[in-house]
Amino acid sequence: MIARYAISIGLGASVTFGLLFIMQLLIATGQGALTDATTYRVTDFVRVERNEIVETKQEKPEKPPEPETPPDMPTPNQADNFDNSMAVSMSAPSMDASLNVGGVGFGVSDGEYLPIVKVAPVYPSRALSRGLEGYVIVEFTVTRQGTVRDPIVVESSSGLFERAATEAALKFKYKPRVIDGEPVEVPGVQNKITFEIQD
C-alpha cells in the first residue's frame, strides 16, 4: 500500500514539474508578442453616386423603297360588260305594261344588271407597310341571284393585291340581268379595284 502511494506521489510530482517547465518555456518565448505594437490598416469605402443618364437607342423603321412606277394605264374600252365603279348604285326597275295580242308577249321589267353592293377590299398589310398602291382588274360571272361567281384576275399592278381583290369581288351584289322576265347569268363582267393609301 505504501508502494502505491510512493508511485503516485512520484508520478504527480513529475507531471507537475513538467507542466511548470512547459509554462516557463512558453512565457520565455512569448515576451516579444506582448510588447510589439501591432499596426492595423483601416480601409474605408466611400461610394460616390454617379449621375448617369441611360440612353436607349430606338431603332427607327427603315424607309420603304420607292415603289416602281406603275405601267401606263390602258385606255378603258367602252365595252358592255365593264363595270368601273366602286360606288353603291341602286335604281328602280323599269316597268313595261304587257300586252297579249295574238299570242305575242312583250317582256316584263327587262333590264341590264346593276351593281347594288360593292365591298371595299382589305388593304394587304405587306403592301401597306411598303407604301405600295395599285389596282386589280377582276373578271367574274354575275349569277341569276345577283351574286358573283368564279372571279379571276385579268390584270394587276402587283401580286400583293390579287387575293384581296378576288375576296372583295366575291362579296359584290348585283341586280341580275332580266330578259323576258327571267333573270339570266352574265359572264365576263370586269371590275377595276383600286388600292390607294389615304392620308
Q: What is the CATH number of the domain that holds 187?
A: 3.30.2420.10
Query: Collapsing DSSP states into helix, strand and coil, what is residue 137?
Result: strand
CB 77 within 8 A of CB 188: no
Q: Domain for residue 111, yes or no?
A: yes
Q: Domain for residue 174, yes or no?
A: yes
Q: Domain for residue 19, yes or no?
A: no
Q: Domain for residue 187, yes or no?
A: yes
For 25-60, the pLDDT digits (tens) are 888 787 655 555 566 666 666 666 666 666 666 666
Q: Domain for residue 170, yes or no?
A: yes
* DSSP character string of 156-184: ES-GGGHHHHHHHHTT-EEEPEEETTEEE
Q: Domain for residue 99, yes or no?
A: no
Nearest to 194 by CA among 95, 85, 88: 85
- Encode the chain (199 residues) as per-residue pLDDT tens digits: 888 888 989 999 999 999 988 988 888 787 655 555 566 666 666 666 666 666 666 666 677 777 676 666 655 454 455 554 443 333 333 333 333 333 333 334 577 888 888 888 888 888 888 888 999 999 999 999 999 999 999 999 888 899 999 999 999 999 988 988 889 999 999 999 998 887 6
Query: Cα–Cα distance between 94 and 111 in angstroms, integer?
Result: 7
Q: Is 14 left (phi over 0), alpha (psi -120 to 50) or beta?
A: alpha
Q: Domain for residue 3, yes or no?
A: no
Query: Cα–Cα distance between 187 and 193 in angstroms, integer?
Result: 18
Domain that holds residue 155: 82-92+107-195
- Residue 111 DSSP label: B
Q: In what order do the strands lie in the sheet with 148-156?
A: 82-83, 186-195, 134-142, 148-156
Domain count for the chain: 1
Q: Domain for residue 139, yes or no?
A: yes
